[in-house]
Amino acid sequence: MCGIVAYIGNKKCKSILINGLKRLEYRGYDSAGIAILSPVQNEKFEKTGKPRFQIKVEKEAGKIKVLEDLVKNIDMDGFCGIGHTRWATHGEPSKVNAHPHFDCTEKIAVVHNGIIENYSEIKEELIQKGHKFISQTDTEVLPHLLEEYLKSENIGDLQLAMHKLLKKIRGSGAIVAISTDFPEEIVAGRIASPLIVGTSKDENFFASDMPAVLEHTHNFIVINDFETVRITRNKVEIFNSDCKLIEREPFKVSWSIESAEKGGYEDFMLKEIFEQPYGVKETMRGRLLDGALNFDELNISEEQIKNLKKIQIIACGTSYHAALTGKLLIEKWAKIPVEVDFSSEYRYRSPIVDKNCLFVAITQSGETIDTLAAIREAKSKNARVVAITNVVGSTVARESDSVIYTHAGPEIGVCATKTFSSQLIVMYLMALYFAKVKGFVDGVDYDKIIKEIKSIPDKIQTILDNAEKIKNIADETYKHTCFLFLGRIYGFPMSLEGALKLKEISYIHAEGYPAGEMKHGPIALTDTKTVVVGLIPRDFIYEKMISNLQEVKARNATIFAIITEDDKNISRYANYTFEIPKTIEELYGILEVVPLQLYAYYIAKNHNRNVDQPRNLAKSVTVE
Ligand code: G6P
């Protein structure tokens, strides 16, 4: 997710934009830029008496400090401008891909946060009409579209052109534009990405996030989907999806900048857990089109998929648990054998890999050194390498043959939460795609699975709406000294993830286990100080899970069961239950992991841990 700040008012805005961008630095970014409307110097306009404007732009890859130093001695001051920190989605992080982007005439500048799904077809249309593009971004089509509407179609109004643009694009976007022909306004539109207006006396702002402008105003207006907005120095005009002017009063926030960075949540980890409905939607975006699956980015022909002898997945930490889920689904739906290894083990165990093997590396950071080393090993043996990562332009992305970006947005908490649910979505979609190509899934099943995948964001939201229940269970159980997480089949990787989350942030001993293995060792651990967290969805292995629970119940452990809604049966065995919405058995994992993340979070908070930066851990592990 990129950061946006825009200003129009009675102050010179260069430093307002730079400071606003600095306030957004906490979100992570890879490049930044600003564009300011400035009057052309030394020109006389006897006819109109008004100056002619030009847009002065500066952008750079890297830290905002680099941009700040760059613009320090450049004369680019004006009273209206836009700024952007980029978190790359299309095209590597670089100066040319940094925002703002321009139309052909350099009269319109645009910043954008989101993903334009149909940008290639729009780009093609625009190229036919003579437009020239210089970046690899999806965003660059936006100023060109505005140019087209304003010039060729004679729409004499920037806000109307923005309205038309919103109808043309598919995907997500908070889009903000300035134009030399409309020097006294800034126009914006929104589909699915956050956009707010900050309003104050004689000045107004756009921002993706409150911290960007909180030092100037505490009065905000939230912009909704398909609305367009025009701000001038002393007016805010909001237009609904039918382009009708509507009224909306600003609300006042009393947040400090620090709490605003966390969106009002206590920690980034909690914020990121709550961002998952949005994150997984972004992961699906462009890949699930009207029921059809699009995986062009894999860059593998259907013939190659049909001929695959084996898929090898490697990963570390939380990503490894997504890999285990991928194996279950690819083998079940697409019937391709899958091996899963820890990256750190892989290259030391004489693996069998060749050109008929698809090698999939999962890594949220894209920088994990063990994963990188395993990729290099596989490439040296001619395997085709696909990376699944959240960070565009990361080393793993650059060294792989193709990349699937999870698009979960920057994750600041050290332990992975929203990047994990996004990895699971990629696993679901990829397994289904392979099954479809191989003809192993019929129309009815396929439609049903797609429908269920599409319903995941809402189901995660339902779970989050009940977070308080998990908190209460954590408040009552946090003093226990041993936590065993039990699951079977699709629940097993989630039991590992639940235990890992708890270990990482609470420093309490926890283990994830396949429930059937309990009796071969871990059951010896269970006593009154143990909590057993059982994942017991209503699936084909439900009865067996109940037997496994009874075994630990008999040893006086406290039982916390994650169950399917309306399952009244389990309360006989469990001390605590938490209900998750119904889905198909293959997809329960993603719904189970959300309460597990919350449980780990609330237990850690009871122990006063720093959940965003747990001891001894790093977000990006670049040493072996
Ligand atoms: C670190 C992080 C974990 C992450 C693991 C693997 O240990 O703290 O959250 O799961 O690295 O990272 P990767 O970027 O390869 O997914």
pLDDT of 28 reads 67
C-alpha of residue 267 to centroid of ligand 1, in Å: 19
Hey, which of 363, 426, 497, 502 would you mutate to test ligand 1's pocket, going by the most ligand atoms within 8 Å of its Cβ? 363
DSSP 223: P
HSE, side-chain direction, 13 A CA sphere, residue 212? 31
More confident residue, 466 or 395: 466
Give nearest CA residue, ligand 1 atom 5. 317
pLDDT of 126 reads 96
Instruction: List for the chain the helix, strand, coil content (%; round to 5).
Output: 40, 25, 40
Catalytic residue among 2, 13, 80, 415: 2
Atom of ligand 1 nearest to the CA of 366: 14
Atom of ligand 1 nearest to the CA of 368: 15
Rounded Cα–Cα distance for residues 275 and 265 (Å): 11
Q: Three-state SS for 127?
A: helix
C-alpha of residue 6 to centroid of ligand 1, in Å: 35
Q: Name residues contacting ligand 1 (CB within 6 A).
A: 316-319, 363-365, 368, 371, 414-416, 617, 619, 621
Give the pTM: 0.80
Atom of ligand 1 nearest to the CA of 367: 14
C-alpha of residue 416 to centroid of ligand 1, in Å: 7
The answer for residues whose C-beta is within 8 angstroms of residue 326's C-beta and 6 or more apart is: 313, 338, 340, 360, 362, 427, 430, 431
Rounded Cα–Cα distance for residues 311 and 336 (Å): 7
pLDDT of 227 reads 96
pLDDT of 623 reads 66
Convert the pLDDT of each residue in 565-621 to its tens digit: 999 999 888 999 999 999 999 999 999 999 999 999 999 999 999 999 888 877 777
SS3 per-residue string spanning 471-540 = HHHHHHHCCCCEEEEEECCCHHHHHHHHHHHHHHHHCCEEEEEEHHHHHHCHHHHCCCCEEEEEEECCCC
Tokens at 335, concatenated: 């019937």
Convert the pLDDT of each residue in 246-260 to its tens digit: 999 998 887 777 777
CA 464, 363, 283 angle in degrees (round to 5)? 50
Whether 45 has a pLDDT exceeding 60, the answer reads no
Whether 414 has a pLDDT exceeding 80, the answer reads yes
Give nearest CA residue, ligand 1 atom 16. 363
C-alpha of residue 617 to centroid of ligand 1, in Å: 9
Rounded Cα–Cα distance for residues 39 and 79 (Å): 10
Whether residue 415 lies in the annotated active site: no
Rounded Cα–Cα distance for residues 548 and 546 (Å): 5
Convert the pLDDT of each residue in 478-512 to its tens digit: 999 999 999 999 999 999 999 999 999 999 999 99
C-alpha of residue 458 to centroid of ligand 1, in Å: 27
Give yes or no for a contact between 450 and 306, defined as CB atoms under 8 angstroms apart: no
* Phi, psi of 479, rounded to the nearest 5 degrees: -80, -10
Give nearest CA residue, ligand 1 atom 4. 317
| % residues pLDDT > 90 (the chain) | 70
DSSP 296: G
pLDDT band at residue 624 using 50, 70 and 90 as cut-offs: low
Give nearest CA residue, ligand 1 atom 7. 317
C-alpha of residue 260 to centroid of ligand 1, in Å: 26
Atom of ligand 1 nearest to the CA of 396: 15
Catalytic residue among 168, 379, 544, 619: 619
Give nearest CA residue, ligand 1 atom 2. 619
| % residues pLDDT > 70 (the chain) | 98
Whether residue 2 lies in the annotated active site: yes
pLDDT of 516 reads 87
Average of per-residue pLDDT values in the chain: 91
Task: Report the pLDDT averaged over residues 388-410.
Answer: 89
